[in-house]
Amino acid sequence: MKCREESNKDAELAKVRELIAEAYKLMNSDTNKCIKISKEALQLSDKYQFGVGQGMAYMHIGLGYFHRSEYYNALKNYLKAEPFFQKENYWYGLRSIYNNIGLVYNQWNDLENALKYFHKNLALEAKFNGPKLSSTILNNIGRIYLQLDDFDQAVKYFTESLKLCEEHKLPYMNSVCYDNLGKTYLELGDTLKAEEFYEKSISLKTGIKDYAGLSNVYQNKATLLIKSEEYKTALKMLDKAMDFASKVNEQSQIASIYLKYANVYEKLDDPIKQKEFLEKSLSIAELHQLRSTALKAYTALSQFYQNKTDYKKALYFTQKGQQIKDFLSDEKKNSAIQEMKIKMEVERTEHEKEILQHKNDELESMNAQILDQKKMLEQAEKELKQLNQNLEKKVIEETKKRRLQEQIIIQKSKLESLGRLAAGIAHEINQPVGLIKIATQNLFHKYKNNKITDTYLKEKSAFVEDNINRINKIIEHIRLFSRDQQQDNKQKIDVKEIVNNALSMIRMQFKNHNIAIQQEFKEDHFKTIGNKYRLEQVVLNLLSNARDALDEKFDELDDAKKIIIRLYPEGNIIVLEVEDNGCGLSQQTIYHVFDPFYTTKPESRGTGLGLSICYGIIQEMDGNISMESKKGKFTLVKIKLPSYSRKA
């Protein structure tokens, strides 16, 4: 059954590729069918989450709209394709999209944005080296500079494209380069060079049977000859242009060629032929809704009848031309409105992408910190594995993906606490490791001198086992503490035990800071309901803050540094106090200490999240937390939690 499903999937993905290939062939000749089959490819790609297929489908839907001159619909679909190509690292698709977006902006005469996307395409050349694609982009950039009358830049980019085409043997794009260079030199008034490049283009296009391209080149040559008043030779060029346009049934080109015929016969003072070709051009333009060409034909016929003093017909064609002008004007206004809408949408999308990128950068930075801490713990585990292969438990910290923001922040704070306490934890582990090392050395020495007794061996084995168990307990506690504990993971917990667990992680570090810890517990059992590791995180945060306050007030070797931890009942309430004789806080500061991101510490020592997290955890346990402090004297944090008996 599974093999059959895989086979069906492969067959349908192959069908996606076939549909895309068919859509590509139809994007000029049958735009409706191009869009229709591209949507079929999109449905299949969505079904199997085929990212490249989804991107290619959206791109070809856009191509269909582009060749229908619905540029805003084209751009919307190009933008939908972009994230699929980015996700799949499909650089060819991404480069094609940037080229197509540039062409849309070029149609809107937004040359600045057109250049922006063409250069974005070239920037990906290292990711996907496609000479054909690069030569196309260089040509597009050259055309923009040609529109801007910056002929030097136009020649530069056309020449770069030509060099690429010749190097990689790309005859079609090679012929396009020659054609564009011919147009550029024609604009510069250098008819000899223009003629030279047109001839080179004709030679290549003839070899590859690019009939539509040949028709264009011969029309350009005819234009050049008309300017030179070589009308009879111009007519020969137009005859050739017509032959090639007819071969591929390019009706828009045929209509345009008829207009050029009419122009030549006007120059030759042959009104009968002039009128004949104007009417032919108009007939095709009206049939195929070629409005720009129809407008030119109406305008020329109006002028023709004015010259004949037939003002009635002249007025008729003037009115017909005005109707098209009005239509094109309305269409231009609508297009401008749609253009503004899509530009706003593009700007909004790009702004959202910038924000998302910024957030991703922050998450990557956070992940890097977590990975650094994880590596430190894994290194400690490797050292333990060298002593005993049975100690194969890993110390891991993982945060579950896409959790609520509060859960992410709490876990980050917990890992930061472990990072700051890493030195103390390492010392706690190193002490039993050192004892194990000494014991094994003694054992080896006895063995070497043949002085081992059964009693001595049992004692040393028990001693090593006790220290290994001690290491196990430390690692197990770190493992459980560092785990991402869910807020609904509640159980009956002993507050005293939690305080002692927290102290076991930091006692040695605090001793190194010359801090005395005084415990005042009035009873043995303080039970409540909650998550023991989250409450331990609260205790660690409070102790860490107390240590910072003491270090800020006293020098490193001062014996006056003291932290008092009190635990006592108050009716049905358990009270936990952490007091230090550190630098204290002002009354104004106390009002904000539980606010997120509020901190009095330097940026390198705190984010301002610790106490706000403590506040949230205690609230989840139906308790409350408060603070008293006096600047330069002390700070006392008091936590009140409901006892287990009250909850029962």
Give me the pLDDT at residue 402, please: 44
**Which residues are within 8 A (CB) of 197 and not within 5 positions of it... i.e. 6 or more apart?**
178, 179, 181, 182, 185
Kindly list the distances between the CA atom of residue 407 and the CA atoms of 188, 363, 399, 483, 584, in Å, as whole numbers in the listed order: 68, 14, 9, 12, 30
Other residues' Cβ atoms within 10 Å of the Cβ of residue 108: 19
Strands (DSSP E) contained in 90-173 are none
Is 107 inside any structural domain?
no
Q: Supply 435's token pair.
A: 């004892």
* Per-residue pLDDT at 630 exceeds 80: yes
> Shortest CA distance to 34 belongs to which of 45, 22, 52, 43?
22
538-564 confidence digits (pLDDT tens): 898 898 888 888 988 898 778 889 999
Q: What pLDDT is attached to residue 608?
A: 41
- Domain identity same for 616 and 577: yes
Q: Are 449 and 537 found together in one domain?
A: no
233 — pLDDT class (breaks 50, 70, 90): very high
- What is the band of 639 on the pLDDT scale with cuts at 50, 70, 90? very high
| Residue 160 resides in a domain | no
Q: Dump pLDDT digits (tens) for 167-177.
A: 999 898 899 89
pLDDT at 7: 66
Within 8 A by CB and 6+ apart from 390, the residues are: none
pLDDT for 394: 44
* Residue 511 and residue 562 in contact, taking contact as beta carbons nearer than 8 Å: no
Q: Residue 187 domain-assigned?
A: no
468 and 589 in a single domain? The answer is no
pLDDT greater than 50 at residue 647: no
Nearest CA among 509, 474, 493 for reference residue 641: 493
CB-based contact 441:524 (threshold 8 Å): no
pLDDT at residue 224, as a whole number: 85
Interatomic CA distance for residues 200 and 55, integer angstroms:
38
Domain membership of residue 477 as a residue range: 357-484
Rounded to whole angstroms, how far apart are CA atoms 25 and 33? 10
> Residues 494, 405: one domain?
no
626 burial level (CB within 10 Å; 0-12, 13-18, 19+):
middle
Higher-pLDDT residue of 622 and 5 is: 622
Number of domains composing the chain: 3
Picking from 93, 119, 139, the residue at the C-terminal end of a domain is: 93
- Residue 532, pLDDT above cutoff 60: yes
- CA–CA separation, 497 vs 526, rounded Å? 9
User: Are 516 and 469 part of one and the same domain?
Assistant: no
Angle between helices 532-553 and 405-420 (to 10 degrees): 50
Residue 607: pLDDT band with limits 50, 70, 90: very low
- HSE-CB of 373 using CA atoms within 13 angstroms: 24
User: What are the residues whose beta carbons fall under 8 Å from the beta carbon of 156, sequence distance 6 or more?
Assistant: 142
Q: Is residue 568 part of a domain?
A: yes
* Residue 599 confidence (pLDDT): 62
User: What is the tens place of the pLDDT at every residue in 371-426?
Assistant: 777 777 677 667 656 655 654 444 334 445 544 555 555 555 555 555 555 545 55
Query: What's the whole-number average pLDDT of the chain?
Result: 80
- Higher per-residue confidence, 588 vs 342: 588
144: CB partners within 8 A, 6+ apart: 106, 111, 114, 115, 118
Q: Is residue 13 part of a domain?
A: yes
329 pLDDT tier (thresholds 50, 70, 90)? low
* Residues 600 and 505 occupy one common structural domain: yes
Contact between residue 170 and residue 132 where contact means Cβ atoms under 8 Å apart: yes
Are residues 439 and 398 part of one domain? yes
For 251, the token pair is 């009706």
Higher-scoring residue by pLDDT: 431, 589:
589
How far apart, in whole angstroms, are the C-alpha atoms of residue 631 and residue 583?
6
Comparing 130-134, 251-255, 486-490, the range with the smallest average pLDDT is: 486-490
Q: Are strands 516-521 and 562-570 parallel, antiparallel or unpaired?
A: parallel
Which tokens is 538 given? 């609260």
Residue 71 CB contacts under 8 Å (≥ 6 apart), including other chains: 65, 104, 107, 108, 335, 338, 339
**Identity of the residue numbered 547:** R
Does 555 reside within a domain? Answer: yes
pTM above 0.75, yes or no: no
Using an 8 Å Cβ cutoff, are 632 and 554 in contact?
A: no
Q: Which residues contact 77 (CB under 8 A, 6 or more apart)?
A: 58, 59, 61, 62, 65
- Joined tokens for residue 252: 């828009």
- Does one domain contain both 478 and 531? no
Tally of CB atoms within 10 A around 633: 11
Q: What angle do CA 310, 313, 319 make, to 5 degrees?
A: 135
Which phi and psi (to 5°) does residue 637 adopt?
-105, 130
Whether residues 626 and 519 share a domain: the answer is yes
Residues 550 and 433 in one domain: no
pLDDT in tens, 459-483: 767 767 766 766 765 666 555 555 5
Residues 6+ apart with CB under 8 A from 521: 496, 566, 567, 568
E strand spans, 168-218: none
The pLDDT value given to residue 56: 93
Mean pLDDT of 99-103: 91
For the record, the structure tokens of 215 come out as 């028709």
Nearest residue to 397 (alpha-carbon basis) of 483, 485, 489: 483
Q: Is residue 402 part of a domain?
A: yes
> Is the Cα dihedral 225, 228, 232, 235 positive or negative?
positive
Give the C-alpha distances (Å, rounded to integers) separating 41 from 14, 19, 28, 34, 59.
10, 6, 18, 11, 11
Q: Measured in whole angstroms, how far is the alpha carbon of residue 563 from the centre of its chain?
A: 48
Say if 246 falls within a structural domain: no
Averaged pLDDT, 350-355: 61
**Rg of the chain (C-alpha set):** 40
The count of C-alpha atoms lying within 13 angstroms of the C-alpha of 504, restricted to the half-sphere facing its C-beta, is: 17
Let me know how many helices (H) and strands (E) the chain has, helices first: 24, 7
Judge whether 158 and 142 are in contact, CB under 8 Å.
yes
Chosen domain end from 484, 516, 547: 484
Cα angle 270, 271, 274 (rounded to 5 degrees) comes to 90
Averaged pLDDT for residues 298-318? 89
Amino acid in the structure at residue 415 = L
Backbone angles phi, psi at 278, to 5 degrees: -65, -40
588/628 same-domain check: yes
Q: Is pLDDT at 641 greater than 90 in this prediction?
A: yes
How far is 140 from 138, CA to CA, in rounded Å?
Answer: 5
Q: Residue 220's closest CA among 183, 275, 246?
A: 183
- Over residues 23-51, mean pLDDT: 89
Give 269's pLDDT tier (boundaries 50, 70, 90).
Answer: very high
At 590, is the pLDDT very low, low, confident or very high (cuts 50, 70, 90)?
confident
Q: For residue 565, give the CATH number of its domain.
A: 3.30.565.10
Q: Among 93, 124, 156, identify where a domain stops.
A: 93
Confidence of residue 610 (pLDDT cuts 50, 70, 90): low
Look at residues 196, 144, 195, 205 and name the one whose alpha carbon lies nearest to residue 174. 205
Stretch 595-603: mean pLDDT: 59
What is the average pLDDT across 423-441? Answer: 64
Which has more confidence, 10 or 255?
A: 255
Q: Which of 97-101, 274-278, 317-321, 593-597 has the weakest average pLDDT?
A: 593-597
Question: If you search the block for the tokens 């040695």, which residue do you land on?
Answer: 508
The reply to whether 16 and 34 lie within a common domain is yes
